[in-house]
Amino acid sequence: MGKTLTEKVLGRKAGRDVQAGEVVSVSPDYVLSHDNSAAIIKEFLKLGVKKVKAPEKIVIVLDHIVPAADEKYAQNHKSIREFVAAQGIPNFFDINAGICHQVLPEQGFALPGLVIVGSDSHTPSYGALGAFATGIGRTETACTWATDEIWLRVPETMRIDLRGRFRRGVFAKDLSLKLIGDHGAEMANYKAVEFAGPAAGDLSVGSRLTLANMSAEMGAKNGYFAPDEKALKWLEGRARRPFSAVASDPDASYESVLAYDLDALEPQVACPHTVDNVKPVSAVAGKPVNQVLIGTCTNGRLDDLEAAAAIFRGRKVHPAVRVLVIPASWQVYREALASGALAALVEAGCVILNSGCGPCLGAHEGLMAAGEVCLSTSNRNFQGRMGHRDSEIYLASPATAASTAVTGRITDPREFS
Amino acid sequence: MSHGTVWKYGDNVNTDVIFPGRYTYQIMTPEEMAKHAMEDLDPAFAKGVKPGDIVLAGKNFGCGSSREQAASSLKAAGVQAIVARSFARIYFRNAINLGLAVLQSDEAVDALETGDPVDLDLARGEIRSAKGTFRFLPLPPSVLGLIEAGGLIEYTRKKLEREQE
């Protein structure tokens, strides 16, 4: 019987033939952490070893609170910089790089066939390029630094076959929300999600990153696309090391298969306070908002800023709305400067912030007061996540976000495009 | 075997309401973390929880962020175990790695309510209460070993010590 991509990647690492359900112990190719490295270092120091086992595999990206919002965060960053220097960790990105889930693909760490673990729940993003990538906790990250080893259960796979084409005003974010709304926030708990079918190859790498990123909100262990010509071309000039791409066999075994027709999809919005509380934009249109956030590891790439800029050109942000724009990385920031997208956003009245996670996780930069409402392109709308517990978050695509920013009320982007 | 009281919640209890993001990147002692446990879900929890209590919940407990304080804050607050219909995967790993028992039993979740007194027997895989005895699959020996060692850090520290000898 054939194998899935996940079975092949983990089997190659384990040095034997494996199938879903088995537990393997593997030495990962990269171990990601971010600002939480400060807490991981504290755990690592309890282990009684002086040096990390494989410094070249550790990738640390400061992105959650950059620049530091107060002296406690500054102390965290300082302790991380000192540890990086003392341990000789070569892959360190300071506050002028971007969100880890954009930096790792751009900088050529996220490669087909690799095993990447990260102490961040959106680590599955790298599956967009055919890696096996999954989120772990801080304690486990500390132990992996010390041992260069981690156990993983080989997950069963859910395949999602895509056909057709997105209509005007509809994007990968809308598809991800539709999937989660239809099947619930634990639709793929413990499982791998393979995005396949004739339309998968048509999707841009940016769209693939959005979908693999949002597989975390399906509960998935990893989410991925088969690495095709488009992915390999995108990696040209970026890949840091040789790699050997693998894809699922045609006769691989899937636990379940879903099919979605992109032509039938309309813009979607996830309503408070869960990601699976999803409605078509028409059902919530007209709801007034106080803030709009365009950015994050889900939707802060050039495609996303361009989609927003297309709506903002010749229009202004509604006077009752604050719009925060955060390019996902400095590379995206520079590209959006060059393309004119940033100029259009600033002209319209958007506030541009440093590349990073911004207010998405509720630590700084644009948190909400009681009773306020934000429409965000991020991935989570949990109660209290972006400020006061009596504030509300709606999730949508960058086009829906920009349209909403212009009218001050949740708006169908097809009215503008 | 431990004795405590039930705190019951619904489906999809996420890590943001268990331990809010505004505290996640501040380094805190376990006692400080315990004060914020469940802050955005149930403000009464941190004040009322006692050592030995268990948290009962529906599907997908601990979904969302990988933040470990969502497990460690409950452990620091004295929670002996979480019994749910299902767990989000990172939460499940984190809890075990921190030595916090995560158990699955639909029957217990159906029958028990907030305030019910219960006895928990991890080794036998039983929750006993006036409303009945509920069985959960006993944890595999490797996982029980991790919990008994006090979590993954202690377990790994001992393993590394043995390797160096």
> CA-nearest residue of chain B to A387?
B22
Given this model, what pLDDT does residue B26 score?
A: 82
Closest CA to B11 of A277, A177, A120, A269: A277
Between chains, do B65 and A121 touch, taking CB under 8 Å as contact?
A: yes
pLDDT band of residue B39 (cuts 50, 70, 90) is very high
**pLDDT tens profile B48-75:** 999 999 999 999 999 999 999 999 999 9
CA A170/CA A267 separation, integer angstroms: 5
Q: Is the pLDDT of residue B139 over 80?
A: no
CA B63/CA B83 separation, integer angstroms: 15
> CA-nearest residue of chain B to A221?
B89
C-alpha distance from B129 to closest chain A C-alpha (Å): 30
- List the domains of chain B with CATH numbers: 2-164 (3.20.19.10)
Question: Can you tell me which residue has the tokens 């995206």?
Answer: A332
Given this model, what pLDDT does residue B148 score?
A: 82
Between chains, do B152 and A186 touch, taking CB under 8 Å as contact?
A: no
First to last CA, chain A: 47
Instruction: Check CB contact of A38 with chain B, cutoff 8 Å.
Output: yes
Strands A222-225 and A150-153: unpaired
Contact A192, A131 (CB under 8 A): no
- Residues with Cβ within 8 Å of A262's Cβ and at least 6 positions away in sequence, in order, are A162, A163, A164, A165, A166, A167, A170, A175, A199
pLDDT, average across residues A266-295? 98
Instruction: Check CB contact of B93 with chain A, cutoff 8 Å.
Output: yes
Q: Is the pLDDT of residue A167 over 80?
A: yes
Instruction: Check CB contact of A3 with chain B, cutoff 8 Å.
Output: no
User: Measured on CA atoms in the order B10, B12, B16, B18, is the torsion positive or negative?
Assistant: positive
Given this model, what pLDDT does residue B6 score?
A: 98
Interhelix angle for B89-97 vs A138-147, to 10°? 70
**pLDDT tens profile A88-120:** 999 999 999 999 999 999 999 999 999 999 999
C-alpha distance from B130 to closest chain A C-alpha (Å): 32
Which residues of chain A neighbour B88 with C-beta distances below 8 Å? 186, 189, 219
pLDDT, average across residues A361-375? 97
C-alpha distance from B33 to closest chain A C-alpha (Å): 13
What's the CA dihedral at A172, B21, B93, A101 to 10 degrees? 40
Q: Among A209-223, A275-289, B89-103, B134-148, which stretch is predicted with the lowest mean pLDDT?
A: B134-148
Strands A115-118 and A132-135: parallel
CB atoms within 10 A of CB A415: 13
CA A408/CA B17 separation, integer angstroms: 28
pLDDT band of residue A231 (cuts 50, 70, 90) is very high
Between chains, do A119 and B66 touch, taking CB under 8 Å as contact?
A: yes
Instruction: Check CB contact of A156 with chain B, cutoff 8 Å.
Output: no
Of residues B89, B156, B160, nearest to A221 (C-beta): B89
pLDDT, average across residues A212-241? 98
Share of chain A above pLDDT 90, in %: 99
Q: Is the pLDDT of residue B164 over 90?
A: no
DSSP state of B128: E
Contact A284, A269 (CB under 8 A): yes
Given this model, what pLDDT does residue B146 score?
A: 84
Between chains, do A47 and B24 touch, taking CB under 8 Å as contact?
A: no
Between chains, do B93 and A140 touch, taking CB under 8 Å as contact?
A: yes
Q: Is the pLDDT of residue B119 over 90?
A: yes
**pLDDT tens profile A305-341:** 999 999 999 999 999 999 999 999 999 999 999 999 9
> CA-nearest residue of chain B to A65?
B25
Given this model, what pLDDT does residue B163 score?
A: 85
CA atoms within 13 A on the CB side of B17: 22
Instruction: Check CB contact of B124 with chain A, cutoff 8 Å.
Output: no
pLDDT band of residue A149 (cuts 50, 70, 90) is very high
Helix, strand, or coil (residue A290): coil
DSSP state of A322: E
Q: Do A5-242+254-260 and A268-415 fold alike per CATH? A: yes
What's the CA dihedral at A125, A126, A131, A137 to 10 degrees? -70
DSSP state of B63: B
For chain A, which residues make up each domain, given as ranges? 5-242+254-260, 268-415
Which residues of chain A neighbour B89 with C-beta distances below 8 Å? 189-190, 219, 221
Given this model, what pLDDT does residue B145 score?
A: 81
pLDDT band of residue A2 (cuts 50, 70, 90) is very high
Of residues B26, B41, B93, nearest to A137 (C-beta): B93
C-alpha distance from A148 to closest chain B C-alpha (Å): 12
C-alpha distance from B119 to closest chain A C-alpha (Å): 29
CA A138/CA B77 separation, integer angstroms: 19
Instruction: Check CB contact of B141 with chain A, cutoff 8 Å.
Output: no
Computed over every residue of chain A, the mean pLDDT equals 97
CA A282/CA A268 separation, integer angstroms: 8
CA A73 to chain centre: 23
Given this model, what pLDDT does residue B136 score?
A: 87
Instruction: Check CB contact of B158 with chain A, cutoff 8 Å.
Output: no
Between chains, do B22 and A362 touch, taking CB under 8 Å as contact?
A: yes
pLDDT, average across residues A388-394? 96
- Residues with Cβ within 8 Å of A103's Cβ and at least 6 positions away in sequence, in order, are A61, A63, A93, A97, A329
Q: Is the pLDDT of residue A194 over 80?
A: yes
The domain covering A268-415 belongs, at the CATH homologous superfamily level, to: Aconitase, domain 3 (3.30.499.10)
| Interchain CB contacts (distance < 8 Å): A and B | 122
Could you give the ipTM of this predicted complex? 0.91
B-facing residues of A in 320-349 (CB < 8 A) are: none
**pLDDT tens profile A14-56:** 999 999 999 899 999 999 999 999 999 999 999 999 999 999 9
Share of chain A above pLDDT 70, in %: 100
CA A152/CA A10 separation, integer angstroms: 9
- For A5-242+254-260, the fitting CATH number among 3.30.70.120, 3.30.499.10, 3.90.1200.10, 3.30.420.40 is 3.30.499.10
Q: Is the pLDDT of residue B140 over 90?
A: no
Phi-psi sector, A15: left (phi>0), alpha (psi -120 to 50), beta:
left
C-alpha distance from B46 to closest chain A C-alpha (Å): 16
Given this model, what pLDDT does residue A205 score?
A: 98
Q: How far is CA B75 from CA A381, B80, B151, in A?
A: 26, 7, 11
Given this model, what pLDDT does residue A323 score?
A: 98
pLDDT band of residue B150 (cuts 50, 70, 90) is confident
Q: How far is CA B104 from CA A82, A178, B69, B73, B85, in A?
A: 42, 29, 21, 20, 5
Q: Is the pLDDT of residue B141 over 80?
A: no
Given this model, what pLDDT does residue B138 score?
A: 75
Which residues of chain A neighbour B63 with C-beta distances below 8 Å? 185-186, 219
Which residues of chain B neighbour A383 with C-beta distances below 8 Å? 16-17, 40-41
- Residues with Cβ within 8 Å of B47's Cβ and at least 6 positions away in sequence, in order, are none
Given this model, what pLDDT does residue A272 score?
A: 98
- Residues with Cβ within 8 Å of A328's Cβ and at least 6 positions away in sequence, in order, are A98, A99, A101, A102, A295, A296, A297, A300, A301, A304, A355
pLDDT, average across residues A343-348? 98
pLDDT band of residue B137 (cuts 50, 70, 90) is confident
Instruction: Check CB contact of B60 with chain A, cutoff 8 Å.
Output: yes
Closest CA to A102 of A84, A67, A128, A138: A128
Of residues A72, A219, A221, nearest to B63 (C-beta): A219
pLDDT, average across residues A349-373? 97
Q: Is the pLDDT of residue B142 over 80?
A: no
Disruptive mutation site among B11, B13, B16 for chain A (greatest number of A CBs within 10 Å): B16
Closest CA to A393 of A364, A363, A360, A365: A360
Question: Can you tell me which residue has the tokens 């992915």?
Answer: A231
